């Protein structure tokens, strides 16, 4: 199962331990809880220095989710796993809203300044905020984990890294299609694009074949926009028919398949744009960084018969992947939600001001987003509650628990478990 992180009294990372050992240390008061997410304990007394087992941090970056795994290369044990959900597309939508508000404001005959869109230069290596946030999220968690565990190396999936060309610099033409990883890159992308199901009948959990929407016999290309997935039965049934003839009785499905085929490659573009910036950020840590392709990751996963999840993909990144031991590992689900908004004047959907926000965020030592524990001893809401808090200046807080939202809890009953850091956590 996932191990518990341990740091010594000098806050130096030690080898992760079993949860039973952590409970015993806490029970005997030889350690205290240092951090809840990820769960870490700190020893109260200094111990003789023992060599910590070296761990490898493995990262599978994605447009929406990034898989993170800590692997012991010598034993193959997955010590820790997490899935980080990015907010890149949310940032894009917020920036679009801000741009629309500013444009409409400047279009009116008011005191506002004129448009200025050519007076700013972008530094070298600039990324759009929605893309930069992905890099920053991963960089933040690399630094967090380095402070809590003895990480000695990093592996990153670098999507377009050509491993065949490195092994054989003279490789040419059709030889690219004959390697060990032949077809893995295209097939993996199609599986993601078409939700791992047959485009025609919707069946899942069976072997799927790559199928040409516009058949090759009638001039169809091998372009990714002309490829889909189908089961063997539908593939044989369609044969060389045009898709408009094959499913002419179901125009809704026909339109859905054609629109899905032309779907822009936004996710793939986001990963490709940020991959080199992320690599440079990881190299800046001073640790050795290994890279691998998406096809290589899938090959490693297939060889060990592992399921398709973000954290397992991360554990399979790179040539250094050993035989993995994933028994009992439960990934920590991390969601980036930011630090709120600085907008003082809230607007309705038409852009007109309808509310005002205060600039004071901390009330009675708490702020919205903290994870707290409330032990209510009297009144109508007697009991214990834990969850994310919504603060008010009156001191009457709301707590979002697993059972729902509990309103009207006084700050006097509250104690902080985990201070707001821009992320939410779940298992």
Shared domain check, 156 and 59? yes
Q: How does residue 293 score in pLDDT terms, banded at 50, 70 and 90?
A: confident
Residue 267: per-residue pLDDT? 72
Shared domain check, 149 and 75? yes
* 134, 61 Cβ separation under 8 angstroms: yes
Look at residue 35 and tell me if it is in a domain: yes
Look at residue 169 and tell me if it is in a domain: no
**Alpha-carbon span 390 to 56, nearest angstrom:** 38
Tokens 């869109």 belong to 117
**Alpha-carbon span 149 to 23, nearest angstrom:** 19
Shared domain check, 377 and 291? no
Tally of domains within the chain: 4
Look at residue 97 and tell me if it is in a domain: no
Shared domain check, 137 and 65? yes
Interval 383-408: pLDDT, tens? 999 999 999 999 999 999 888 899 99
CATH at residue 371 = 2.30.30
Shared domain check, 273 and 154? yes
Interval 235-291: pLDDT, tens? 888 888 888 888 888 888 888 888 887 776 677 778 878 888 999 999 999 999 999
Shared domain check, 253 and 188? yes
CATH at residue 249 = 1.10.30
**Alpha-carbon span 34 to 43, nearest angstrom:** 9
**Alpha-carbon span 399 to 232, nearest angstrom:** 52
Shared domain check, 279 and 253? no
Look at residue 280 and tell me if it is in a domain: yes
Look at residue 92 and tell me if it is in a domain: no
Domain boundary among 266, 295, 321: 266
Work out the mean pLDDT of the chain and round it to a whole number. Answer: 85
Q: How does residue 112 score in pLDDT terms, banded at 50, 70 and 90?
A: low
Shared domain check, 421 and 406? yes
Angle between helices 266-283 and 129-148 (to 10 degrees): 40
DSSP-derived secondary structure letter, 224: G
b/e code 361-380 from CB counts within 10 Å (16+ = b): eebeebbbbbbbbbebeeee
Mean pLDDT of 344-360: 80
Interval 362-372: pLDDT, tens? 899 999 889 99
CATH at residue 153 = 3.30.420.10
Look at residue 48 and tell me if it is in a domain: no
Look at residue 108 and tell me if it is in a domain: no
Shared domain check, 195 and 256? yes
Mean pLDDT of 320-347: 88
* 423, 335 Cβ separation under 8 angstroms: yes
Domain boundary among 218, 245, 266: 266
Q: How many H helices and E strands in the chain?
A: 11, 22
Shared domain check, 282 and 257? no
Mean pLDDT of 110-114: 64
Q: The domain containing residue 34 runs over which residues?
A: 4-43
pTM of the model: 0.76
Shared domain check, 330 and 211? no
Look at residue 209 and tell me if it is in a domain: yes
Shared domain check, 257 and 191? yes
Domain boundary among 236, 266, 296: 266
The phi and psi torsions of 242 (rounded to 5 degrees) equal -75, 145
Q: Is beta strand 151-157 parallel, antiparallel or unpaired with respect to 55-60?
A: parallel
């Amino acid at each position: 199962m996932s191990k518990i992180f341990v740091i010594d009294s000098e806050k130096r990372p030690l080898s992760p331990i079993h949860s039973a050992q952590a409970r015993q240390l806490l029970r005997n008061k030889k350690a205290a809880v240092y951090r809840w997410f990820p769960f870490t304990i700190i020893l109260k007394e200094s111990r003789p220095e023992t060599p910590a087992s070296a761990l490898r941090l493995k990262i599978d970056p994605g447009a929406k989710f990034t898989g993170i795994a800590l692997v012991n290369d010598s034993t193959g044990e997955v010590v820790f796993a997490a899935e980080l959900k990015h907010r890149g597309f949310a940032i894009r939508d917020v920036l679009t809203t801000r741009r629309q508000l500013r444009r409409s404001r400047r279009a009116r005959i008011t005191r506002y300044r004129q448009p200025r869109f050519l007076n700013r230069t972008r530094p070298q290596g600039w990324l759009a905020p929605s893309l930069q946030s992905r890099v920053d999220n991963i960089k933040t968690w690399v630094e967090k984990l380095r402070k809590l565990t003895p990480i000695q190396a990093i592996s990153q999936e670098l999507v377009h890294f050509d491993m065949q060309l490195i092994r054989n610099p003279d490789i040419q033409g059709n030889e690219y299609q004959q390697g060990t990883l032949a077809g893995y890159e295209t097939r993996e992308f199609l599986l993601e694009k078409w939700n791992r199901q047959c485009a025609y009948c919707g069946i899942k959990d069976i072997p799927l074949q790559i199928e040409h929407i516009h058949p090759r016999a009638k001039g169809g290309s091998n372009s990714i926009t002309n490829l889909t997935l189908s089961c063997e039965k539908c593939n044989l049934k369609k044969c060389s028919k045009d898709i408009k003839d094959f499913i002419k009785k179901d125009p809704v499905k026909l339109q859905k398949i054609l629109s899905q085929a032309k779907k822009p490659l936004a996710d793939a573009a986001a990963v490709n744009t940020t991959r080199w910036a992320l690599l440079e950020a990881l190299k800046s840590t001073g640790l050795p960084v290994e890279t691998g392709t998406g096809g290589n990751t899938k090959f490693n996963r297939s060889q060990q018969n592992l399921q398709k999840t973000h954290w397992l993909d991360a554990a399979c990144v790179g040539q250094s992947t050993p035989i993995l031991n994933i028994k009992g590992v439960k990934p920590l689900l991390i969601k980036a939600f930011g630090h709120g908004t600085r907008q003082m004047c809230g607007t309705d959907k038409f852009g007109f001001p309808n509310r005002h926000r205060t600039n004071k965020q901390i009330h009675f030592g708490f702020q919205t987003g903290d994870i707290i524990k409330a032990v209510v001893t009297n009144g109508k809401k007697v009991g214990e509650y834990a969850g994310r808090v919504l603060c008010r200046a009156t001191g009457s807080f709301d707590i979002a628990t697993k059972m729902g939202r509990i309103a009207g809890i006084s700050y006097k009953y509250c104690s902080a478990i985990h201070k707001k850091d821009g992320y939410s956590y779940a298992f």
